[in-house]
Structures are given as structure tokens and as C-alpha cells.
Amino acid sequence: MSDDKRGSHLQEQHNKGEQDAANGKYNPPHSISPLDVLFSTEKEIEHYVKDNEAYNKGRDNAKN
């Protein structure tokens, strides 16, 4: 994914976190299970973690 698309994607996750917080929800984009770790590449796991971090930052932003 190009840097522009990735930045846009992370902004979307951030925005979703803000929306979910405003609606009293918690629905991060990825749940990372032990099976995900076993059957995914390191790059995929990194992608999942960054998506979740952006989502959580959006939630924190909405709460403050």
C-alpha cells in the first residue's frame, strides 16, 4: 500500500474510533489471536497493530 493510501487508511480507522466512542461502542478493526500470529506474515500483523492503534487514538481523542 502506498504511503498516501496507508495514511488515508489510518485516518479512516482513527475516524471510526472517534465515531464508535461517540456511540458508546468499541469495535476495533482487528482482533489479533494467536492463530493470526501463527498464520499471518510479520507485515500483516504490523498492519493490524497500526490499524488498531489508530482506532484507539481516535477513541481517546473523542473521550478528551
Domain ranges of the chain: 3-63
pLDDT over 70 (residue 57): yes
pLDDT at res. 4: 80
CA-wise closest residue to 9 among 40, 51, 61: 51
pLDDT at res. 3: 74
Its pTM stands at 0.88
Alpha helices (H) along 1-64: 3-22, 34-39, 42-63
pLDDT at res. 64: 85
The C-alpha atoms of residue 7 and residue 20 are separated, in whole angstroms, by 20
Residue 49's CB is within 10 A of a number of other CB atoms, namely: 12
